Amino acid sequence: MKLNGISSNFPLDLDVMVAEEMGDEHISHAVDTPMRSDAFELSDEEKMKGIEAHFREIMHLLGLDLTDDSLKGTPHRVAKMYIEEIFSGLNPANKPKIALFENKYQYNQMLVEKNITFYSNCEHHFVPIIGKAHVAYISSGKVIGLSKINRIVQYYAKRPQVQERLTNQIGLELKAALGTEDVAVLIDAAHLCVSSRGVKDISSATVTSFYSGKFTQDNVKQEFLKYLD
């Protein structure tokens, strides 16, 4: 299919109908973000050029005057934002480098990093998800710099997401990085696809959790939740 001479891979009408029937359901088939095998054959610069061209066409179809001083740079700004900022977590090259340290302090209790603010985007409508992540772990002999926990959250948030997948991705990454089963993640977020469109409910929030190892024990889980009050 082409729009004013620009090739497009828009889905067939049948696919659109199925997607509309699904609506806002948070359907996810795997913990991995769905990616094509050729996702990184193009450079970031090539991707930005393509996004810029397609977004210019979208603006044109909306009837906007792209010769206006306020609008003419928008396609480039959006393309740059997509690649370098809000979807930068799609590129494994941007994954934070994790350095572990010996637990010299012999701190064997729960460590909690709470109120990690993040901004993500709903993969169903490409509108923001704004929330806070609360993360805890119990060291198995290694510890991680506190800022690295924040960076892991931000890395997985900076991609089209559903909250359930985001929660699991953060939890599994921390387990692998820390070499411990004892990890907990709780995310509390507002979805603009709910508040700014559709049902337009501005007061609701979504909470998801990931518990593994000792955190599946009720007393340990309750201790974690107590710290979040």
The distance in angstroms from the start CA to the end CA of the chain is 53
Residue 45 tokens read as: 């610069």
204 pLDDT band (50/70/90 cuts)? confident
DSSP per-residue letters across 156-188: HHSSEE-HHHHHHHHHHHHHHHHT-S-EEEEEE
Bigger pLDDT: 170 or 105?
Answer: 170
Chain centroid to Cα 222, Å, comes to 27
State yes or no: pLDDT of 28 exceeds 60: no
Using alpha carbons, select from 127, 192, 195, 122 the residue that is nearest to residue 163: 122
Rounded CA gap, 71 and 47, in Å? Answer: 21
Position 45 scores a pLDDT of: 97
Position 195 scores a pLDDT of: 67
Enter the DSSP assignment of 84.
I
Position 106 scores a pLDDT of: 85
Exactly one of 124, 134, 154, 173 is catalytic; which is it?
Answer: 124
Active site residue 193: yes
Exactly one of 54, 57, 125, 181 is catalytic; which is it?
Answer: 125
Q: Which domains does the chain have, with CATH numbers?
A: 2-86 (1.10.286.10), 100-227 (3.30.1130.10)
State yes or no: pLDDT of 186 exceeds 70: yes
> Which helix H or strand E contains 153, and what residues bound it?
helix 146-157
Q: Is-contact 125 173, C-beta < 8 A?
A: no
Active site residue 173: no
Residue 83 tokens read as: 């690649």
Active site residue 217: no
Exactly one of 52, 134, 173, 193 is catalytic; which is it?
Answer: 193
Range from 2-11, 35-44, 102-111, 141-150 carrying the lowest mean pLDDT: 2-11
Exactly one of 57, 123, 181, 223 is catalytic; which is it?
Answer: 123
Rounded CA gap, 175 and 169, in Å? Answer: 10
Exactly one of 122, 134, 161, 173 is catalytic; which is it?
Answer: 122
State yes or no: pLDDT of 34 exceeds 80: yes
Active site residue 21: no
> Which helix H or strand E contains 191, and what residues bound it?
strand 183-191
> Which residues have a Cβ under 8 Å from the Cβ of 227 and sit 6 or more positions away?
110, 112, 114, 136
Rounded CA gap, 159 and 68, in Å? Answer: 31
Active site residue 169: no
State yes or no: pLDDT of 26 exceeds 60: no
State yes or no: pLDDT of 18 exceeds 50: no
Active site residue 26: no
What is the amino acid identity at position 34?
A: P
Active site residue 76: no
Using alpha carbons, select from 131, 99, 106 the residue that is nearest to residue 118: 131
pTM: 0.86
In a 3-state reduction of DSSP, which class is residue 15? helix
Exactly one of 52, 154, 161, 163 is catalytic; which is it?
Answer: 163
Rounded CA gap, 104 and 144, in Å? Answer: 12
Q: pLDDT tens, 44-91?
A: 999 999 999 999 999 999 999 999 999 999 999 999 999 999 999 999
200 pLDDT band (50/70/90 cuts)? confident
* Average pLDDT of every residue of the chain: 89
93 pLDDT band (50/70/90 cuts)? very high
